[in-house]
Each structure stands twice: as C-alpha cells, then as structure tokens.
Structure 1
Amino acid sequence: MKVQNKIVVVTGGGNGMGRELVLALLSRGASVAAVDINASALEETARLAGMNSSNLATYTVNITDRAAVEALPERVISRFGAVDGIINNAGVIQPFVKLKDLDFAAIERVMNVNLFGTLYMTKAFLPHLLARPEAHITNISSMGGFLPVPGQTIYGASKAAVKLLTEGLNSELQGTNVRVTVVFPGAIGTNIAVNSGVMDTLQVKSGEAPPVKILSPDKAARIILDGIESNRYRVLVGSDARLMDAIYRLHPQRAARFILDQMSSLLPQ
C-alpha cells in the first residue's frame, strides 16, 4: 500500500522507531495518528514534525487498556474521516535477567504491552480497514521473536506470539483488501531499555563495544515503510536480523549458541 494520502495509525509514536515512523510517513504524504502512553513524548514528536504537523494527530492511550483502544478508531475517524493502516510498533523489553529471576509483574507487563496491545489494536481497527478500498496492518515482532535471546526469554515469547498472530492474520485476510506485514528488527538504537524501566539491568562494560551492530531508528523506519509500500509478507530490519534469520533456518541450535556467546557478558549470573 502506497502511503501517500493514506491515514495511518502508529503506536509507540512518541519515541524511537515509532517516532521515526511517524515522521517518515508524514514526509511521504500520509496523515498520521500517533499513539503513545507518554503525552510529553507525543508533544515532542509533533514539534519535530514541523510543517507536516497539520497532518498529525496525537492520542495519549495505554494500549493495554482494551476499552481505551476500542474507543480509538472512532476518535481517529472523527479527525481524519477514515483509517487506511495501522503499525503496531509499541513494545517493552523485560529486565535483563534469567526466567528464574523474573517476577510475574514484569512477565505480565511484557505480555500485555507486546501481545495484547497489538491484539487489541488489530481487533479494534480491523473492521474499519476491511471497509477501505485498500488497507494495511503492520506488526513489529523482533529478531528475538524467531531467535532465543537469553535474558529476554519472555520478551522473545511475546514477540514470537506477535509473529504467529500476524502470519495467521495474513492467511485469514487473503482475498480481502487488507495486506499484512510482519517486521523483525534487529538491534535498533532506541530508548526501549529506558522506556521499559529496565536500564539498570542492561549494562555494557566501560570501553566495550556493543555485542551487535546497531541500526539508527530513521533507517529502520525507512526499511519498514519500503516494505509496507511493497506489500511485503515479512521485513527483516538490519544486517544482524538478516544474518541470524539465514543461520537460524539452516541450524537453529548453532544460531542460539552464537547469540548466547554474544550476550553472555551482559547476562547476570
């Protein structure tokens, strides 16, 4: 779906890759409904939009609140007249600890935001998308959704669920006007650790390089939008995601061991 002159909803639009998706959509001629739990972050996104801000509306919504999400389509439609696409980008990571040390409050938060938030948004907007001449659903999974990352096991489980949710939806919507894309970012230079409240659990020793190459959020956004405009089934974002996807297909256990070796220095014992 070409995004020019389309109305697209983006969750997590106040920071990082979500903000860059909002700005890139606006630059390509789309109108955007940016959704985030952080009102001040949305205000900054609107400021950065500059001259394009007339085509931007912001909505402070907690996507784990099903009632609030169910009310969102009518709010967006009352502003723009329709909705042509959604990008379910909002997500959080878990504290960087092993499953045995992870409390249920953290587990439930990750699953509620990453899986149920995506599900609530998809269910709420799908009837409106089906009524459009063409429409698109994009769900952001993760490289950790197909490849195990120790210390992020529950995060990975939530993103694996998003993967299968999206792929199943794609199959169900064959023959309709709605296209579906699942996205697998690798390491992206965002503030997800800070925004998830887990920065103190993820520390790189002074002077050490990060274990993987990090892609900038604006480049990630461009790759994702190019995938949407090409109606891609799946989009791998970053050289690390592409490499590990290839390795995992050939030898899953070897790929898992490689990631364990790369991340072991960051994982509390």
Structure 2
Amino acid sequence: MDISGRTFVITGAGAGIGQHTALEVLRRGGRVAGIDLRSEGLDETLRLAGAENPDFGAMFSAHPIDITDRSSVLALPQAIRDEHGGIDGLINVAGIIQPFVHVTELEFTTMERILAVNFWGTVNTVKAFLPELQRRPVSSLVNVSSMGSILPVPGQTVYGASKAAVNLFTEGLFAELQGGPVRVTTVYPGAIATEISTNSGVDRTEGEEAPEFGGGGKSSDPSMTPPQEAGRLIVDAVEKGSFRVHIGKDAKAFRALSTVTPKRAIRMVAEKMKDLV
C-alpha cells in the first residue's frame, strides 16, 4: 500500500510511538489525523512536523479526544472526512500501563480504566472507522499490542490481559475481513524508549527504568528500541500489509519462548523481572 496521498488516523499521536508513526507517515507523503487525549501533545507533534518540513502542517490535523468517549469517537469520521477527504488507514497506538503492583493491590477502578483505554478504546475506533476503510480500494487497519500480551510481566497482569484481548480482536477482524480491501496488522512492541509510564499516571522511582512493551524507559538505554524506529517499522508494515510485526529482539524472544516452552518462559520472566513490583 502506497502511503503517499493517503490519509491515516493515528491514535496516541501526541507522544511516543504514535507521535513518531505520525511523523513517518508525513515523511512518506501521507496525511495524518492525529488523535490524543492531550491537546498539548498533538501541538508538539505539529511543531516537530513543521520543523522538519513546513508543508507537513497542512497534512496534519489534531483531534484531542478521549478514545473511551464513544460518542466523540463515532463523530470523528465525518470531521476527518471534512478535513482530508477519504480515510485510508487506522493505526491504533494509544494505550496505558498499570501501576507496578500485583492484582491483589490493584483497585477495580484502575483495572476498568486500563481495559477501557486499551481494549474498548480500540474497539470504539475500529467500529467508527472500519466502514470508511471498507469503502476504499485498499486500506490498512493496525492495532498495537504488546510483548506483555505474549508472556506476563510482573506487576502488569491486567495491562497484559487488555492487550491480549486486542490480539484476538485484531486477528478476529483479519478472519472476518478476508477477501475485502482492508489489510489487518497486529504490532507487538518490545521495550520502547518512551514516556508511557508518565502518560499512564504510573509513578516510578526517580532514575528507575520501567521496561515496557510499548514504552516507559530511558531513551538512552541501548537495550530499548527508539520510538523513531518503532514508528518506521509500523509504517513499513502498512506498506507491506504485514500480518504480525514484532519490534525489538525482546519481543521476538518472547514470542519464541511462549511457543516452545510457555510454562518455563513464564517462570523465567517472572524471576528476571520480579524487582519491578
């Protein structure tokens, strides 16, 4: 799928992987309707885009909404059509992690918020935009999951469960949409150097790294994939129509371990990462 001249809706476009995915689409000649809870994040994406190329400003529109607000999400397709014309792709990046605690210490309201953003937010945008995508000659639907949905990470059990729901939802869509114009992709990021911990409202000890499966660590940590690289790989996947994409050696290792020796792999990850909790 050629990116140039096509319009992509990107959630979480105000920071991290979503921001760099938006910038990469713009570099390849596409148009972006950026969705984020924080308007200041979208302003920053627009600033970065304009600093890179003055023409990018006309190719980017900002839509600050909460993706858990279903009525607001369902109103978006018309607003984006008015701004850009047809809609050729939806890339769901927005997501939050949980506090690094065991389930017994996690409040129900926190669990409900994680599921509302990560799973129901994804469902809301898919329901809103899928009819648009089905009307195009060729289109793309990308949902970003997590390596934490492949193998459980200590202190992220509900987060992992929310992303596992995204996995099956996405592959169910792949099955349902066979023979049509929509190419469906699931993305599994490993540890990405973003600020997902801060943006999720999760406190970490100063200087302490939060190895996340979609963000949350120091950009200087060489073991983490830079968000720029993650954005590039996601847009590559759109162009290729990839089925699954694993970003980072850690995500690929998680997938292999979960297939070959799942019980041993769960114990190994739990022991290696037990200090996170």
Deviates further, 255-264 or 13-22: 255-264
Contact 2:143/2:170 (8 A) holds in 1: yes
Letter in 1 for 2:266: A
1:261 partnered with 2:265: no
Q: What do the CA deviations read for 1:95-127 (whole angstroms, capped 9, x no partner)? A: 010000000111011000000000000000011
Matches within 5 A, 1:12-31: 12-31=12-31
Q: What do the CA deviations read for 1:63-89 (whole angstroms, capped 9, x no partner)? A: 000000000000000101110000010
Matches within 5 A, 1:70-149: 70-149=74-153
Equivalence for 2:214? none
Equivalence for 2:3? 3
Matches within 5 A, 1:1-269: 1-50=1-50, 51=54, 52-200=56-204, 204=208, 213-267=223-277
Following the alignment from structure 2 to structure 1, what is the Cα–Cα distance between the partners of residues 271 and 261? Answer: 16
Q: 1:204, CA displacement in angstroms?
A: 2.9
Deviates further, 232-241 or 1-10: 1-10
Q: 1:212, CA displacement in angstroms?
A: 9.2
Q: TM-score, normalised by structure 1?
A: 0.95
Q: TM-score, normalised by structure 2?
A: 0.92
Q: What do the CA deviations read for 1:232-255 (whole angstroms, capped 9, x no partner)? A: 110001110011111111001121
Contact 2:46/2:57 (8 A) holds in 1: yes
User: RMSD over aligned Cα, in angstroms?
Assistant: 1.7
Which consecutive residues of structure 2, in runs of 5 or more, have no partner in the other structure?
A: 210-216
Q: How many aligned positions are there? A: 264
Contact 1:212/1:240 (8 A) holds in 2: no
Following the alignment from structure 1 to structure 2, what is the Cα–Cα distance between the partners of residues 246 and 212? Answer: 22
Letter in 2 for 1:166: T
Following the alignment from structure 1 to structure 2, what is the Cα–Cα distance between the partners of residues 156 and 92? Answer: 11
The 1:184/1:252 distance shift into structure 2, 3 A limit, reads: same
Following the alignment from structure 1 to structure 2, what is the Cα–Cα distance between the partners of residues 126 and 94? Answer: 29
Contact 1:10/1:87 (8 A) holds in 2: yes
Contact 1:184/1:237 (8 A) holds in 2: yes
Q: 1:213, CA displacement in angstroms?
A: 2.2
SS of equivalent residue, structure 1 residue 261: helix
The 1:253/1:212 distance shift into structure 2, 3 A limit, reads: farther
Letter in 2 for 1:257: R
Letter in 1 for 2:22: V
